[in-house]
Structure 1
Amino acid sequence: MVRATREQSGDLTIQEMARRSGFSEPTLRYYERIGLLGEVARDASSGHRRYAPATAERVVALACLRSSGMTVSGMRRYLDLLAEGDSAAAAQRDLFAAQADKLAADIEQSQLRLTYLRRKADLWDARVRGDAAAEKQAVEDVTRVMHDITPKD
C-alpha cells in the first residue's frame, strides 16, 4: 500500500475527488478496486485515500470519458492503449472515433425526444386555448416524431 503524508500538497481526499470528478465515492473506490486508477495513496496517520495530482488528472479524464457514454471496458481499453504510447495512436483514434459516433447517435435520439416533448406541449397548449386547427397540427407533428423515434427493423 502506498502511504502519503498529510502535508503532501495537491493531494485530494475522496470527498474532494468526488466533487471534482462528479463520480460518487463508491464509484471511485470501485474504479480503484478494478484497477482503473492504479493504487491510490493513503494518509499515513488515518489510512484515508489521498489522490495525488497525477491520479486526480486520471480520474478527471475518466470522468470525461464516462460522461460521453464510454463503458468501463472502453475506459480500460483507453488506459491500456495509453500505456502503449505512440505505437497505439491508430487504435486510440479508432476508439475515440467510435465513441464519438455513438455519442452523436445518442444526441440525435435525445433531440428527437426533445422534439416529441415540445410537440406534445404544443398539443396540450392548443387544447387549453381551444384551437382545434393547432391541435390537429400538433397531433400530426407528434405522430411524425413518434415515427422517427420508433426503431426501424
Structure 2
Amino acid sequence: MAGATRNQGRDLTIQEMARRSGFSEPTLRYYEKIGLLGAVDRDESSGHRRYTPAIVERVEALSCLRSAGMAVSGMRRYLELLSRGDAAAAEQRDLFASQAQKLAADIEQLRLRLTYLRRKADLWDARVRGDLAAEQRAVEDVVRVMDRFMLKD
C-alpha cells in the first residue's frame, strides 16, 4: 500500500496512527486486543505502542474496509482469507461482492432519506410562500416517499 511507502520505515505512535487511519485510539487498542492487528510493538523505555510499517499497512486496509461499512467479523474474515493467499481468491471475491451489495442497499436508503428531506423542505417552502397548490403537491410527494420507506422495512 502507498501508506507503508510514505511511512518509509518510521514507526508511528498511537496518536499518529489514529490521525492517519481515522480510528480512535480506543478502537486501535480494541482491534489489537481482538487480534485484528497482530502484535503491536512497544517502545522499550516508555511501553507506548509503536506501529511498524506492516501494521500501518494493515490498519489502513482495515480503515478502508470499515469506511465501506464492513463489520469486525468481515474484517476478521478478510484477514483470514488474506493469509491463505490465492487459494482463497474466490472467497475474497464473494466477501467483497457481498459487502458491495450491502453498501449499494445502504446508498439507496440514503438516497430515499435525502429525497424525503428535500420534499419536506419543498413543503415548508411552499408554506412560507403561501402557495397552497405547491404545498399540496409537496404533501403528496412526502406521502409517496414515506410509502417507499414502509416498503423497505
The answer for the alignment partner of 1:59 in structure 2 is: 59
Q: Deviations over 1:5-46 (max 9, x none)?
A: xxx942110001001111000000000000000000111111
The answer for the alignment partner of 2:32 in structure 1 is: 32
Q: Given the two structures, how large is their TM-score scaled by the length of structure 2?
A: 0.92
- Residue type matched to 2:127 in 1? R
The answer for the alignment partner of 1:109 in structure 2 is: 109
The answer for the alignment partner of 1:50 in structure 2 is: 50
- Residue type matched to 1:52 in 2? T
Unpaired runs of at least 5, structure 2: 1-7
The answer for the alignment partner of 1:17 in structure 2 is: 17
Q: Which whole-Å CA distance do the structure 1 matches of 2:151 and 2:23 have between them?
A: 32
Higher helix share: 2
The answer for the alignment partner of 1:78 in structure 2 is: 78
The percentage of counterpart residues that share the same residue type is 79
With over 3 angstroms needed to count, the CA separation of the structure-2 counterparts of 1:104 and 1:152, relative to structure 1, is: closer
Shift of 1:152: 5.0
Q: Deviations over 1:66-85 (max 9, x none)?
A: 11111111000000000000
Shift of 1:149: 1.4
Q: Given the two structures, how large is their TM-score scaled by the length of structure 1?
A: 0.92
1:130 counterpart = 2:130: yes
Q: Which moved more, 1:101-110 or 1:9-18?
A: 9-18
Count of residue pairs brought into register by the alignment: 146
The answer for the alignment partner of 1:96 in structure 2 is: 96
- Tell me which stretches of 4 or more aligned residues in structure 1 moved more than 2 Å: none
